Structure 1
């Protein structure tokens, strides 16, 4: 479905072949039938093979505008810094010792998965990801990608660039967030914009999104059912995806793991 949107009749055969290859990956049929983990070869035209600086080559593919604008002073200027307000939750009933032990400076330094950082540095045009469900009906869900348009003291004006509400302007407020990480032995709250700069994301976060370019960095192999298929099927064209796969010695390779458990498809 992604591949056919906006495509021309002249590209029909190429689209058909790429779509079949994607479905074969999703169904575990590349390189022969397999059930579980299998090693497959990726076509050479989809690979990053530069051995001198492969990560830079991958970044240049995904974000070519950086190279085009690195001499433009305004492109990397006008950054604005937003600092969070961190405090122990009242349910902790903190005494004087705890308040000293977990001072705001200590809480500011905590970086927790799913929680925005204490220091959030933004600029107009930067891509960000929403970290909480704010308004699901209007597409403001955990994982939604946006582009910053204007920055105010108390709200961020942004445009949705993923999902079914692409192009919609919205305002993101500061909200109070409490991490759910059980490794932290106390409860604290962070009042901050629920955003993280999103030049890259995990495969799981990319699920459901349609992107014009995808650079897949596989420093380690995928490890769950369907992960490779999800990553590769985000794009609208074959030319829109490149993979950088590293072997055990950190060198680019054309082989990677595809994990497909056929029992998932039974009784569908």
Structure 2
């Protein structure tokens, strides 16, 4: 027999690792990592925002595309190792959510929902983008003034200069 620690350390292609350190919270942006149901918009690369976390599913709202605003449930799915992998005399099975945090997606920068950034954080995040069309910023509706302008604070801790 194989020890549990050994089985957990195995890495097969097409199967997520046993221990993935994703701590999802309500409001966290996530990306689908595989196609689940194209009729409901659950395709690889779809961006969602977590509404609630359950033991066997994640309730999320689609953030963009033709299904924007639609609430969906993402189930845990079972991943199996390939039949052609003859290295071990068994088939590995793991249950995982097929999503990753947005900041681990390609070319993404995630800033917290707080409208206050550390000095230069917003500038650095925006300077990483290679195209204006690629920039998408989630804005709290209360941050929009009557002229449709959006402002954020660039806070400098003034007491540091008193030292």
More contact order relative to length (CA 8 Å, sep ≥ 6): 1
Residue matched to 1:20: none
In the alignment, structure 1 residue 233 sits paired with structure 2 residue 137:
no
Structure 1: 5+ residue stretches without partners: 1-95, 206-212, 219-227, 238-268
Higher helix share: 1
CA distance in 2, matches of 1:166, 1:155: 20
2:101 to 188, 197, 203: 197
Shift of 1:137: 1.3
Distance of aligned partners of 1:110 and 1:140 in 2 relative to their CA distance in 1, 3 Å threshold: same
Q: Is the 8 A contact 2:30 2:48 kept in 1?
A: yes
CA offset digits 1:107-140 (Å, max 9, x no partner): 4345677654434421111111112211111110
Return structure 1 stretches of 4+ with deviation > 3 angstroms. Answer: 109-117, 182-187, 213-218
Structure 2: 5+ residue stretches without partners: 109-121, 138-163
Q: Secondary structure at the match of 1:141?
A: coil
Distance of aligned partners of 1:236 and 1:198 in 2 relative to their CA distance in 1, 3 Å threshold: closer
Distance of aligned partners of 1:108 and 1:141 in 2 relative to their CA distance in 1, 3 Å threshold: same
Residue matched to 2:41: 139
Distance of aligned partners of 1:105 and 1:149 in 2 relative to their CA distance in 1, 3 Å threshold: same
Query: How many residue pairs end up in the alignment?
Result: 117
Distance of aligned partners of 1:148 and 1:184 in 2 relative to their CA distance in 1, 3 Å threshold: farther
Larger gyration radius, structure 1 or structure 2: 1
TM-score, normalised to structure 1, is 0.36
Shift of 1:145: 1.4
Q: Secondary structure at the match of 1:165?
A: coil
TM-score, normalised to structure 2, is 0.55
2:63 to 154, 157, 161: 161
Residue matched to 1:106: 6
Q: Is the 8 A contact 2:126 2:135 kept in 1?
A: no
